[in-house]
Amino acid sequence: MSALKEAATGLKETASQDHRSEGAKSPAEIYDALFVPALFRQWGPIVASEAGIGPGDSVIDIACGTGVLALAALDRVGPHGKVTGLDPNADMLGVARRKNSQIDWRDGRAEELPFPDEAFDAAVSQFGLMFFAEPAKGLREMMRVLKPGGRIAVAVCDSLAHSPGYSAFAALLERLFGEQIANAFRAPFVLGDAERLRALCAQAGIKGPEVRRLRGKVRFASIASLVSTERACVWTLGGLLDDAQFNRLMAEAENALQPFGETDGSVVFDMPALIITAVKRG
């Protein structure tokens, strides 16, 4: 694990404890209510399409979170297909289970998939690979559980350099509060490099992977909504800022993010993804 990821993980473990002690919504509920519509819902159908999922397929969504991609896969497999969603976070699975009982929601880690060889027609994952303890091992496991001819599609956040609004926000965090907090925010973008992803695929024994950049958007109702949402979720800034720091960030963000504001007060900017696709040969 990189130093940046270790620092972010340490901060977020503390933040999670603080957040729960306040009796607020769980991190999974915040993620699903705020981040899914603003960032992640758009990618479910895209990743499912990239995996070539069709009627009757058996699909596993790894690091499924609250089920955005698994639900998109279910729409494509039809009544004769099957979708399994796997995640190590019980709170995430709890939210997912409330959405759909047709999907087989499982507790488990990407690096040790609790399934036999050649069990699925497609293996997919969106915005989870960068948080795997061993990304190459997770990719290797995805290929192991695929049938011959099966396809993977794995999406990660592209680099901050290609997401101007979040790049400006990270720079603001570093200027106001220092590198440690800024790096906690940068952690989801650590695999935003096509060559690094190809290297991980090589380590996993994946032959002939494709890595493509696809465009996506971040959309919040306002700059204030963006800042409040980032503060509320432990996977970004949850629990890391006290009230005085939050108020300072809110005031400064109005200027830093003003270039991305729309006439209706919303804030919109690019956040592309890199998507790995590959077919299991033989």
Where residue 21 sits, what CATH number does that domain have? Answer: 3.40.50.150
Q: What is the pLDDT of residues 64-97, one digit of tens each?
A: 999 999 999 999 999 999 999 999 999 999 999 9
**How many separate domains does the chain show?**
1
Residue, of 237 and 224, whose pLDDT is higher: 224
H/E element holding 197? Answer: helix 194-203
Residues of the domain holding 270: 3-279
pTM for the whole structure: 0.89
What is the mean pLDDT of the segment spanning 224-230? Answer: 89
What does pLDDT average to over the chain?
Answer: 90
Give CA–CA dist 51/72, Å, rounded: 11
Give CA–CA dist 201/209, Å, rounded: 7
Ramachandran angles phi, psi of 191, nearest 5°: -100, 20
